[in-house]
Chain A
Amino acid sequence: MISFSEIASSVHQWLNSHLSPAWVLTVEMVIVGVAAIALFALLGLVLVIMERKVAAYMQIRLGPNRVGPKGMLQSTADTVKLLVKEGITPAGADKFMFNLAPFIAMITAMLLLAPLGFAKDFQIWDLNIGVLYVTAVSSLSVIAILMAGWSSNNKYSLLGAMRSGAQIVSYELSAGLAIMTIVVLTGSLQLSEIVESQRNGWWIFKGHLPALIAFVIFIIAVTAETNRAPFDLAEAESELTAGFHTEYSGMKFALFFLAEYINVFTVCAIGATLFLGGWMPFHIGNWEGFNHVMDYIPSSIWFFGKTFFLIFVIMWFRWTFPRLRIDQLLDLEWKYLLPISMFNIILVTVIAIYHLHG
């Protein structure tokens, strides 16, 4: 099978044989930059059309079906529309912060893509504290939302931003503790090692009860962290019109929109990596034949399949559940999820000490 590292090294050799080392570095930088932005934009477009199709399916309607085959180019057309639209800065807004906020939202979303292992041997930045990096960078996204809400000079935006601040800070604890469960089981913060540790079974299967509890808590917490329904209080439509991005239009709005979807992708990818084995194929014990067949499916398909399954689950939440109230949202975290997570981490530590996991 063709591996990504082979392609990368052949490109590197080809460039070296034609160009001077300084130019090779420049060209490689450009390639990586373009590839990252292209992946970012493509993911956004795919996720937006997916959300609309999932919503349409749940709501017994057709969804976009005019632009392109089965409406698949609808989000591209929307992006072009947003690109040429005027970006209005409201009078009385803090112009610098107002214009900076969408970029911070996008940059944090992009930074989170760096340590993900998309396929076997395909990881942009395999850093040894990958999990810590993910939790640290993902908490930066709240700054963008608070900035946007505060600088808009709009009371709805302000309320939305304040809600979002309270929400993200609270749910980060549970998400962090859920991630810690897997770190305790693996004994490593490096994402590639976490994937490697699941070669003989995914953590959700071999991690006993704690891994299962951690997985459920992780899914709830990241839904809240990405401001998705039923925890979409920051942009609660019927209460705060559009919450923190009420005053944004054109491409500045699109950046927030895109950042939200990239965040959804990232957290689902992290969930797939930690609990569902990342790009590891599905293996059952010593069923040699079955395991061989599974190995033939490319690792990137395993990774994206798991990630998109989790994304579908999160979209499913959005189109089924009503929204929580702000005090109920905080109750859920501080009174239920956090105590359970803490108990869970003690339980998993005991399991890890006595080597009860596979």
Chain B
Amino acid sequence: MYSTTEHIGVNELGDMIINVGPQHPATHGVLHLVITLNGETVKKVEPHLGYIHRSIEKMCESLSYRQFIYSTSRMDYLSSHINNHGCALAVEKGLQVEIPARAEVIRVLMGELTRVASHILWWGALAMDIGAFTPFFHAFREREMINEIMEETCGARLTMNYMVPGGVMFDLHPNFHKRVKALLQQFKDKLDEYDELVTYNTIFINRTKGVGFISAEDAISYGMSGPSARASGVSCDIRKIYPYGMYDKVQFDEVLLQEGDTYARYLVRMQEIRQSLSIIEQLIDNIPEGDFQAKTKAVLKLPKGEYYSRVETARGEFGVYIVSEGGMTPYRIKFRSPGFSNLSALDHMTRGSKIGDLVATMGSLDLVIPDIDR
């Protein structure tokens, strides 16, 4: 019934070929990795995409400038606020509208809350990839608080669709201030607990230190961005290099480490949580009064031309490129998603390591599959 080759699944060199995914606990989605193994050692990793392709870019061509923003919430669903922010910025560039100060602050606040939520979820998921189940539940406790804040103000917990061209859709909920304060207090208590549980755990350090190394040169040539690149010493925080929104008016540090391994990527994200919380702390008491949305026309039409904006999502640089022919819908839209470039470096990072290292490295890249495969 089965030939020998099919039965043990070996190639002509005698290496075992194993399919991780599209349904596999380590891929956090429908990513398909074809791994060539020599015993436990990884010889080659080949990512296969296309299982969750929804052709969002093509869909956007038939949606108006107000509508297409909502479909971007479905790309990187863990930082939908920031995706929406990037799209809104691109449209605003074309419309030449002035954004009210209140809207700018709300946007940054929401963006940083999203970043914290995303990093916290990633923290739990990485720990689970490495075999510890408990951190995942602790992470969800804090993430739930952020989700509740989102639910009250935006009306949704995951795909918020809160940013619109010209500002934000609604004003802040009266409870917003109180809840964010409670969240900041909660994190002050719990971040040390996270460190105790995972960061200083000897097994965790052994599993991540020196694993999945990538140098700064390679990180740049693979086009990596976000915390994954900053762990290799590549300064690439869009909030610092090309400040948008309020980011040039708040104090925060770009977290840079030189090690380039999984542990460094872990530490960068843990530091970024603290930085994001400090941004929230600076802004939460200083939300200016005023409009939350600029007056825009009912039907938006961008002048003929090309518009590009970029934002820093929880995973890296997210770019929006709009080509307008002057009509009600974009002529062409292209998104630059951070996960795609980060995933492309996976093969380079994991060659010669064990299967366990592959899972740890993949976890540390913080891949969100719908973002890679639009």
Residues of A within 8 A of B (CB): 55, 58-61, 91-92, 153, 155-156, 159, 163, 229-230, 232-233, 236-241, 319-328
Contact = CB atoms under 8 A, between A and B. Distances in A.
Interface string B355-369: 111010001000000
A328 B206 contact: yes
A232 B132 CA distance: 11
A155 B9 contact: yes
Given A233-B356, A323-B130, 6 more contacts: A59-B136, A159-B40, A236-B356, A321-B131, A324-B207, A328-B207
Given A319-B133, A320-B134, A321-B203, A326 B25 contact: no
B354 A324 contact: no
A284 B223 CA distance: 68
A325 B357 contact: yes
A276 B24 CA distance: 43
A238 B206 contact: no
Given A155-B9, A236-B356, A319-B134, A325 B129 contact: no
Contacts of A240: 355
Contact of B18 (A92, A156, A163, A237): A156
Contacts of B9: 155
Contact of A322 (B127, B137, B354): B127
Nearest to A155: B18
Contacts, number: 88
B16 interface: yes
Interface string B19-35: 00000111000000000
A324 B206 contact: yes
Given A61-B137, A92-B1, A155-B9, A322 B132 contact: yes
Contacts of B1: 91-92
Q: Is the interface of A mostly helix, strand, loop or mixed?
A: loop
B141 A232 contact: no
B138 interface: yes
Contact of B7 (A59, A92, A237, A241): A92
Contacts of A153: 2, 7
Contact of B26 (A230, A239, A320): A239
B25 A237 contact: yes
B355 A239 contact: yes
A258 B137 CA distance: 26
24 contacts: A58-B134, A92-B1, A153-B7, A155-B8, A155-B16, A156-B18, A159-B40, A159-B355, A229-B131, A230-B131, A236-B131, A237-B131, A238-B26, A241-B24, A320-B134, A322-B127, A322-B131, A322-B204, A323-B132, A325-B206, A325-B207, A325-B357, A326-B354, A327-B354
A322 B138 contact: no
Contacts of B136: 59
A232 B134 contact: no
A321 B373 CA distance: 33
Contacts of A239: 26, 355-356, 359
A163 B201 CA distance: 23
Interface of B: 1-2, 7-9, 16, 18, 24-26, 40, 127-134, 136-138, 141, 197-198, 201, 203-204, 206-207, 354-357, 359, 363
Contact of B131 (A232, A326, A327): A232
B138 to A, nearest CB: 7
Nearest to A318: B133
Nearest to B363: A238
Given A155-B9, A322-B207, A59 B354 contact: no
A58 B355 CA distance: 28
B40 A322 contact: no
Nearest to B2: A92
B2 A238 contact: no
Nearest to A59: B137
A238 B357 CA distance: 11
B18 A59 contact: no
A238 B25 contact: yes
Nearest to A321: B203
Contact of B201 (A155, A233, A322, A326): A322
Contacts of B204: 322
A238 B359 contact: yes
B353 to A, nearest CB: 9
Nearest to A56: B137
Given A59-B133, A230-B131, A236-B131, A322 B356 contact: no
A238 B131 contact: yes
> Among the interface residues B9, B137, B204, which one has the most CB atoms of the partner chain A within 10 A?
B137
A342 B18 CA distance: 40
Contacts of B127: 322
A31 B2 CA distance: 48
A322 B16 contact: no
Nearest to B16: A155
> Among the interface residues B18, B128, B357, which one has the most CB atoms of the partner chain A within 10 A?
B18
A322 B136 CA distance: 12
A241 B128 CA distance: 13
A238 B137 CA distance: 16
B355 A322 contact: no
B134 A323 contact: no
A35 to B, nearest CB: 36
Contacts of A320: 132, 134, 197
Contacts of A230: 131, 203
Contacts of A229: 131
> Among the interface residues A59, A238, A322, which one has the most CB atoms of the partner chain B within 10 A?
A322
A286 B363 CA distance: 58
Contact of A60 (B18, B40, B130, B138): B138
A60 B359 CA distance: 26
Given A58-B134, A237-B25, A239-B355, A326 B40 contact: yes
A57 to B, nearest CB: 10
Contacts of B133: 55, 59, 319
B365 to A, nearest CB: 14
A232 B133 CA distance: 13
Contact of A321 (B24, B26, B132, B363): B132
A323 B356 contact: yes
A238 B16 CA distance: 19
Given A59-B137, A229-B131, A239-B359, A324 B203 contact: yes
Contacts of B16: 155
Nearest to B18: A155
A224 to B, nearest CB: 13
Contacts of B207: 322-325, 328
Contacts of B137: 59-61
Contacts of A58: 134
